[in-house]
Structure 1
Amino acid sequence: MLMDDDSSSDEDHMLEDTQVLHVGTPLIHSTHLSLRLNSNIFLKMESIQPSGSVKIRGIGNFCYRKIQTRGNDVRFVSGSGINTALAVAYCARQLRAEATIVVPTKTSQRICEAIQLDGAQLIKYGSNWIEAETHARKLVKRNGVYVPSADHEHVWQGHSSIVHELKTQLMDNPPAAIICPVGGGGLLNGVILGLQQVGWKQVPVIAVETHGSNAFQAAVVTGCLVHLPKTSTLASSLEAKSVCAKTLELSLIHPVVPFAVSDAMSANAVRLFADDNKMLVEASSGAALSLCYTEIIRDILPSLSPSSDIVVLVTGGSDISLDHLDEYRKLYDSPPVVVKSGSDVFLRLDDTLISLDDVDIDEPMGISPALLQELRAKRAAELSSQDQFDNNLIDSLSIVGSGDDDARTQDFMDDAIMARLDGNEEDDNVHGVGDVDDDDEEDDEDYYDRSETFDVGRGEEDDDDEDQHDELENDSDNDNSRSTPYAIDSDKDNTDKVYGDKSSGIDDMNSTNGHEDQTDLETGNKTAVSDDPVSSSQDSSSRIDSQHSVNNKSTHSPGET
């Protein structure tokens, strides 16, 4: 029969339906970021969509299906954000339907004109989007259809098309991770569903929010939906007091890493992206891009290699202008890196993570300038003290041995420095081949005498010293293999994951038992710091519980975190 010759699948038909209003977008290899991170960074350029953002994928599918079931005699009503409003207005014009868009009174004239240009009725109401949305829902009449920004299965289905495109563009090779901005959860839902549909169930999604609007992260930490009492963020497209219930549900069956960055980091990434690509994107895209520009992605995915592929969803957005870019350049040039993983906050200073009590959401940088200055001064003092110690050690050892003694002297120095880095010194002693106590006031003659004890006729003592040298090297190797906080291993099976203790989010930060130290991002090594709970850092190896890895095979119910 002729019907049997139709080899197209139901999935093909679904994709054709969802592609009526949006366009397929390019996947661009970012040379700048790839060289910076020594991995392949790909940018999914949703900023070129007809409505200016990724919203057209979900909104377009929703509106198209309503027209299919109810005909053109409908009026779409929206009041849920700039990019949603622009997408609804565009879809209504393309589908020959009517639309009513409600925006806050403070909305820029440029956005209002763009909405009216698509033929939609524009109403200004309220001081914020919550008031605008409440009013918009009251306007829905007999033939009216309210268009949700995120919480509808047709919206999620439309967003899932982005993963089907990625599968083709990456030639069926799954990426190491997908970085996805999160607001209400509609895009994240679509990405997870798409990954499940194409068989990429092991690909982790790094869900990025800003500190002032981290409803998803809060939901993951508590194990239930959270309604934020207040939101404050430059990334207006990510501003949401809560996420969809479906978002939390899907995060329990797929590897997802909730992560929050500062407004300043987002804004700085926007200007860096503009410099690199000669394109403007809004701060919501900047939030995702900031993980690459600050190189924090290396700490989330420590197993990244030159063959690893990372996809960043550049969601676009219309809430950006040259004026914004100029402002970002003046206010947020090279801001501090302040991130939140689970319920734990970190400040990066000189490639070292410092644990903070909390984020200051009233500050775009996530930390007050006064506290930042204080912590930088403390860190500078610690580095100065360490440098002085190392310099004194080298000066002391520089007079030890000569000629045939040089090799053994170098071994002594290597052992001593390893002990310093591994934190094995006790009471300011450095345990090398010959133990040198810095507290003993010895003259140069004493050091000469000491060098002779391990320079000639070692016998059994020499064997003991070599064993100690091997032990120190093994300890150093173990330290260098430690994961950093919030890290996941992309080389292992990441099918399922759990979140861990409610008070700690992804990472088990309570396992330190009060021990405070600093973890170096490059080496995983520790150095002691003060007892100040604000400036203290924590040993990354003790803070990562194996159950918090995405590689874990158990799945928790929504009641568990």
Structure 2
Amino acid sequence: MPLHIETPLIESRPMSAIAKRTINLKLDALQPCGSFKLRGVGHACEVHHSRGAKRFISSSGGNAGLAVAYAGRVLGAAVTVVVPETTTDRARELLILEGADVIVHGRSWQEANELAHTLIAPGDAFIHPFDDPLLWTGHASMIDEAAKTTRKPGAVVLSVGGGGLLCGVIEGLQRNGWDDVPVIAVETEGAASFRAATLADAPVEIDAITSVATSLGAKRVCSQSVAYLKTHRIESVVVSDKDALDACERFLTDHRILVEPACGAALSLGYSPPLLTGYDNVLMVVCGGATATLEQIRAWRQAL
């Protein structure tokens, strides 16, 4: 059995009424560790474990690191997670709760990632947060599930950070014969590395991450996500931090599920009808996120 669970797909009546079109939600916020990351990370960890890996090393202080820690605990493998100094206390507490050894290093994910690679020893497996074909294959399972329970959507809406979810969803669409379904990739101002890549027609590094949606905080997206621009219809949308935070609170009221601003970015399209013009029967990926609290979301809103 895979480490992830099969998540519900439901219609959002509040969003459908506002947007005047059907909006279905793939509720991956209900994964055991709180986000879609467990699909790809779990698949990668299982593959490496079957090849003899005794320890998993991660460089994510967010949802990918939590997924690695969860997978390691379930599989009986040791886990070391290197997190940057900007990682919240709550995220560190959750990692420790899953039994991971946590090392704090650097001001950015890039610095934490560099240290993580120096720790790799024989018998270890490094689990990348987003740039690994094993991850994409695991993430594609959410489209496999959707294809069993609903008709072909008019579009898929998702958040994009490093591009792992985007690559997985497109892989899933293609292997289920939904090649013509467009993907709307949403990110926030201050974390718009995919938009930068679409403009440059290549992965480029943005100067800094200034958005509160830190789970979207990859300064450069993976190459495969940009390559898909040539073979799949992808629409890049950038929203404000306020849009993302407002969506988090509205979604909590509407569906009793708390998600991170990174997820709120995609959800904001369900509350902004003009952004979905031309699309009907929309499938929205509720990617989740376990490290933000309601108090933190409200504090961010107040600061804005």
TM, length-normalised to structure 1:
0.53
Q: Return the index of the structure with the highest Cα Rg.
A: 1
Pair 1:217–1:107, CA change in 2 (3 A): closer
Query: Residue 158 of structure 1: which of 131, 135, 138 is its match?
Result: 138
Contact 2:166 2:225 in 1 (8 A): yes
1:519-538 to 2 correspondences below 5 Å: none
Aligned mate of 1:241, from 193, 213, 219: 219
Q: Tell me the SS of whatever aligns to 2:23.
A: strand
Gaps of 5+ in 2: none
Partner of 1:378: none
Q: Which amino acid aligns with 2:8?
A: P
Q: Please tell me whether residue 293 in structure 1 is matched to residue 277 in structure 2.
A: no
Q: How does 1:340-359 map to 2 (within 5 A)?
A: none
Task: Give the superposition deviation at 1:326.
Answer: 2.6
Q: Which residue of 1 aligns with 2:39?
A: 57
Structure 1 counterpart of 2:275, which letter? I
Partner Cα separation in structure 2 for residue 23 and residue 111 of structure 1: 22
What's the Cα RMSD here?
1.5
Alpha carbons 1:86, 1:115 under 8 Å: kept: yes
Distance in 1 separating the partners of 2:287 and 2:99: 25
Would you say the 8 A contact 1:81–1:237 is kept in 2?
no
The answer on whether the counterparts of 1:84 and 1:149 sit within 8 Å (CA) in structure 2 is yes
Q: 1:103 aligns with which of 83, 101, 109?
A: 83
**Alpha-carbon distance between aligned partners in 2 of 1:218 and 1:326, rounded to the nearest angstrom:** 29
- Residue 528 of structure 1 is matched in structure 2 by none
Q: Distance in 2 between matches of 1:32 and 1:67?
A: 43
Contact 2:137 2:168 in 1 (8 A): yes
1:68 maps to what in 2?
Answer: 50
Q: Which one of 123, 144, 149 corresponds to residue 169 of structure 1?
A: 149
Q: Is 1:131 aligned to 2:111, yes or no?
A: yes
For 1:327 and 1:111, the matched residues in 2 are separated by 17
Give 3-state SS (helix, strand or coil) of 2:158's partner.
strand
Q: Does 1:20 align with 2:2?
A: yes
- Report Cα offsets for 1:196-244 as digits up to 9, x if no partner: 1000011100011112111211111221221112221111111111111
Q: Return the alpha-carbon distance in structure 1 between the equivalents of residues 302 and 13 of structure 2.
A: 26
CA apart distance, 1:328:
4.7
Q: Shift in Å at residue 297 of structure 1? A: 2.7
- Structure 1 runs of 4+ off > 4 angstroms? none
Residue by residue, what CA displacement relative to the aligned partner does 1:33-52 show, whole Å, maximum 9, x if unpaired? Answer: 11112211111111110111
Q: Deviations over 1:105-163 (max 9, x none)?
A: 34333222221122211112222322222111111112221110111110000000010
Counterparts of 1:451-530 in structure 2, within 5 Å, are none
What is the match of residue 319 of structure 1? 291
User: Of 32, 37, 47, which aligns to 2:14?
Assistant: 32
- How many Å separate the matches in 1 of 2:72 and 2:181? 35
1:272 to 241, 250, 263: 250
Deviation at 1:298, TM superposition (A): 3.4
- Is residue 72–residue 79 contact of structure 2 (8 Å, CA) maintained in 1? yes
Q: Does the aligned pair in 2 maintain the 1:79–1:101 contact within 8 Å?
A: yes
Tell me how far apart the structure 1 counterparts of residues 194 and 86 of structure 2 sit (CA, whole Å): 27
Q: Summarize the alignment of residues 110-509 of structure 1 with structure 2, pairs less than 5 Å apart.
A: 110-170=90-150, 173-299=151-277, 301=278, 304=279, 308-328=280-300, 330=302
